[in-house]
Chains A and B, each alone.
Chain A
Amino acid sequence: AQTVTQSQPEMSVQEAETVTLSCTYDTSESDYYLFWYKQPPSRQMILVIRQEAYKQQNATENRFSVNFQKAAKSFSLKISDSQLGDAAMYFCAYRGGTGTASKLTFGTGTRLQVTL
């Protein structure tokens, strides 16, 4: 079974600074997808960024980028120019390829605080 590990329960960053959230996963599949979701106090799950395992290029979405190391099974999220609105729980998630019903497996989350 696939597992997703987030080893940082909490992180703090100053406004305008950069922070990196860590995620590792375990799988025997070669075809899979990785996601970072943000959950603000409203509880709504919001997609931040996604990465296809077959792509070597790291995904980027505005201030958010990932460092995908397939061999190390590592998928970290970098938030640049942090803003107060970035404060939230961040979940790393794994989704298998076709034929697996593509269930999304989540890590336990990292709570990000943004300070002035």
Chain B
Amino acid sequence: NAGVTQTPKFRILKIGQSMTLQCAQDMNHNYMYWYRQDPGMGLKLIYYSVGAGITDKGEVPNGYNVSRSTTEDFPLRLELAAPSQTSVYFCASSKLVGANVLTFGAGSRLTVL
């Protein structure tokens, strides 16, 4: 079981560059989420999706974009990277809502210099 796979694990960007963090799950989960974790802090929701073709903003969406063309994939796009986007990014998914547990990817550490 691969679960939730995130790539890359580490990346260094220069200010103004763009990149896409990839997230794929093989569990046929409907719900997918992107979180960011700043040093010493909890996770904050960037974007989420309740199914293919449906996405919505979370708590901190500025500077990011997402798409959900398939059930399996939920890429996060960073446009015009800024130092404030230096963080660890987590993708997560769940089959259903409520008590269903989120399965997290291993995280992607992004540094913007």
Contacts and interface: CB of A to CB of B under 8 A. Distances in A.
B106 A43 contact: yes
The interface size bin for chain A is: 20 to 34
A99 B40 CA distance: 31
Contact of B101 (A35, A44, A99): A35
Contacts of B40: 108-109
B106 A101 contact: no
Interface stretch (A45-53, A63-71, A78-86): A45-53
A75 interface: no
Nearest to A9: B40
B106 A33 contact: no
Contacts of B42: 4, 6, 91, 106-109
Contacts of A35: 101
Interface string B83-95: 0000010101010
B74 interface: no
The interface size bin for chain B is: 20 to 34
B12 interface: no
Contact of B97 (A6, A42, A100, A109): A100
Interface of B: 31, 33, 35, 40-45, 48, 50, 56, 58, 88, 90, 92, 94, 97-102, 104, 106-107
Given A97-B98, A107-B42, A109-B41, 15 more contacts: A4-B42, A35-B101, A44-B106, A45-B92, A47-B101, A52-B99, A98-B98, A101-B56, A102-B94, A102-B100, A103-B48, A103-B58, A104-B45, A108-B41, A109-B40
